[in-house]
Amino acid sequence: MKVLPSRSSEIMAQVPAQQPATAMIEIDRVSQIFQTSARKDHLALSDISLAIEEGAFVSILGPSGCGKSTLLYIVGGFVSPTSGSAKMKGKTITAPGPDRGPVFQEFALFPWKTVLGNVMYGPRQQGVRATEAEAQSRALIEMVGLKGYENFFPKELSGGMKQRVALARTLAYHPEVLLMDEPFGALDAHTRTRLQNDLLNIWERDRKTVLFVTHSVDEAVFLSDKVVMMSRSPGRIRQVIDIDLPRPRRRTELLLDPRYQKYVVDIERMFDDSDEAGANA
Amino acid sequence: MTWSAAIGRRVAPLLACVGLLAAWQVAALALKNDGFPTAFEAMRAVPAILGDKEALINILASLRRMTIGFAAAVAVSIPLGLLMGRSRAVAAFFNPLLMVIYPVPKAALMPIIMLWLGVGDIAKTLVIFLGVSLPVIYHSFEGAKAVEEKMLWSGAAMGLSSVQRLVRIVLPAAMPEILTGCRTGLVLALITMITSEMIARQSGAGNILFNALDMGQYDTVFAMIIIVGAMGIGLDAAFEKVRARLVRWSEPQFDIPLSFS
């Protein structure tokens, strides 16, 4: 498959000089088999290998049911792979840990805690003193645009606001990797666009490693350095595409940028082809 | 909520009480039956009972057993229910046992318990304990089962151990459901308290009631019903106040304005 002409030399000049990239996360021949109710084995992930470099924003893009979330859960340590392994900085992942911070589509906020209580929860658990944790958390709440809502309970917030709290709550304990599981999937189009912009602004400050699961082609291209395309049944990697678009990215500029448009169209075509192939099979 | 609605909410139960007493009064006057004193006569007997030292000791003994039975049941049932809700093995072990005990009226166990433990405090407290346990276990179980997996994962990513997740995530998340069980349990505690004293008549509010019945003091019988009923209403109202405070975050109408004006 032919991908875009590379213009990396130009683009490199706009990115701050980086250390030689090291693999932050290594997924090595991971397969995942689930038992369905009929006692039949379902191969959800088949032989996935993928390296994610430090500081990279990597999206996993695919249709629903392709196992992309499962792959994220394996990196999170929430699910153990049937075979193969996932490593973080060379160490095999066996359990969740504060070095990998998840943000879920369902928000998963603690409903009995206020916005401030939610955001402070991680730092407090890590042993940060209350006054310090509170100051940091208030700053984060302001950063995600929720100043003034510190004492609200989650049920009093809209979906977009909840996801902002969830992001702040995860950022608060300084994970090295952000694991985002279709975080904007439950939001309306307008809110989603705003959160994408804000996420990029936040990410461009400290460039954490991000693994971002989505089924939206636009979203993946707009946000990512690299898009991992997955196909369904069994879930495997179809193609990994580098997105050579300059940063900082501005949505309004990108939408007019032919390079951006070509990425989106190319990826959508590839998915269409595979759908037809699937229909003919 | 408007001001008049707030008043209406407070006045409505009072009106219902007055209406009930009025209907009682009219019915008793109409029937002219020795076994059915008027509301007025029954009410007049209430201060007489509460002023009697012996009766007061009996009622306080009832309340003491009920408090101990209820507290012990809650202390055992919440952890058990939560564990059952989160661990298939624990649920598989206790479920058959509870399914057998659940439909058995706890008062029906009273004769056996009396046989083993006598007619004293221990037997009666145990019956109250059994009566309260099941709804609290059941609701704790349901509450724990409903806790969102991703919420626990979020906690695990922050470094909470499995025990910490149970105490600091499952417990608070299930609290609304747990407290619903406790509220049912509280009323059942009152019921089993009176029933146990009716069967093992030695002391307590139920004992006063049945002694009065034996002696044909019907105004005292009805006065005791009023006292026990008032205790139930008072306890339930107090519990509801506490419950509403504890789970303020989950209440459907929570009128904090969504703006800062």
The residues, ordered by sequence, that sit 6+ positions from A190 with a Cβ below 8 Å of its Cβ are none
Dihedral over Cα of B198, B204, B205, B208: its sign: positive
For the domain made up of B34-248, the CATH class stated in words is mainly alpha
Residue B150 contacts A, CB cutoff 8 Å: yes
Determine the number of helices (DSSP H) and then strands (DSSP E) in chain A: 9, 10
Token pair of A180, please? 């985002």
Smallest Cβ distance to A110: which of B151, B248, B256? Answer: B151
Using the structure block, give the residue that is written with the tokens 């304005």: B257
Mind telling me how many Å the CA of B158 is from chain A's nearest CA? Answer: 5
Answer yes or no: do B249 and A153 touch at CB < 8 A: yes
Interchain proximity B157–A96, CB inside 8 Å? yes
Give the mutation candidate from A72, A73, A75, A78 for the B interface (greatest B CB count, under 10 A). Answer: A78
Question: Among A78, A106, A112, whose Cβ lies nearest the Cβ of B148?
Answer: A106
* Residue-range domains of chain A with CATH: 21-99+175-280 (3.40.50.300)
State whether residue A183 sits within 8 Å of chain B by CB. Answer: no
Tens-level pLDDT at each residue, chain B (261 residues)? 566 666 767 777 788 888 988 999 999 898 888 888 888 889 998 998 998 898 999 999 999 999 999 999 999 999 999 999 999 999 999 999 898 888 888 878 888 888 898 888 899 999 999 999 999 999 999 999 999 999 999 999 999 999 999 999 999 999 999 999 999 999 999 999 998 888 887 788 888 888 888 898 899 999 999 999 999 989 999 999 999 889 989 876 545 444 332
The predicted pLDDT at position B256 comes to 47
CA distance A47 to A29: 4
* Pairs of CB atoms within 8 A across A/B: 70
Closest CA to A211 of A244, A253, A169, A176: A176
Residue of B nearest to A96 (CA): B157
Determine the pLDDT at residue A21: 52
Counting Cα atoms < 13 Å in the Cβ hemisphere of A170 gives 33
pLDDT band at A275 (very low <50, low <70, confident <90, very high): low
Task: Report CA-CA distances (Å) from B167 to B36, B84, B148, B251.
Answer: 53, 14, 15, 22
Q: Does B162 touch chain A (CB under 8 A)?
A: no
**What does the pLDDT read at residue B250?**
87
The whole-number pLDDT of residue A163 equals: 96
pLDDT for the residue B248: 87
Q: What does the pLDDT read at residue B2?
A: 61
pLDDT, mean of residues A234-243: 92
Nearest to B151 among A108, A155, A173 (CB): A108
Q: How far apart are CA A155 and CA A153, in angstroms?
A: 6
CB under 8 A, 24+ apart: contacts of A79-85: A79/A32, A81/A30, A81/A31, A81/A32, A81/A45, A82/A31, A82/A32, A82/A33, A83/A29, A83/A30, A83/A31, A84/A27, A84/A28, A84/A29, A84/A30, A84/A31, A84/A47, A84/A48, A84/A49, A85/A28, A85/A29, A85/A30
Answer yes or no: is the ipTM higher than 0.90.
Answer: no
Q: Which of A108, A111, A152 sits opposite B250 (nearest CB)?
A: A111
Q: Which residues of chain A does B173 touch, with a Cβ-Cβ cutoff of 8 Å?
A: 110-112
> Quick check: A126 and B158 CB within 8 A?
yes
pLDDT of residue B33: 84
- List CB contacts (< 8 A) between B250 and chain A: 111-112, 155
Is there a contact between A87 and A69 (Cβ–Cβ < 8 Å)? no
**A104–B156: do the CB atoms touch at under 8 Å?**
no
Least confident of A38-52, A119-133, B63-77: A38-52
A160 or B12: whose pLDDT is higher?
Answer: A160
* Amino acid of residue A223: L
CB contact under 8 Å between A126 and B249, yes or no, is no
Enter the tokens of residue B15. 């009106």
Q: What is the pLDDT of residue A147?
A: 94
Cβ-contact A80, A74 below 8 angstroms = yes
Higher per-residue confidence, B119 vs A155: A155
Interface test with A, best of B147, B150, B179 (most A CBs within 10 A): B150
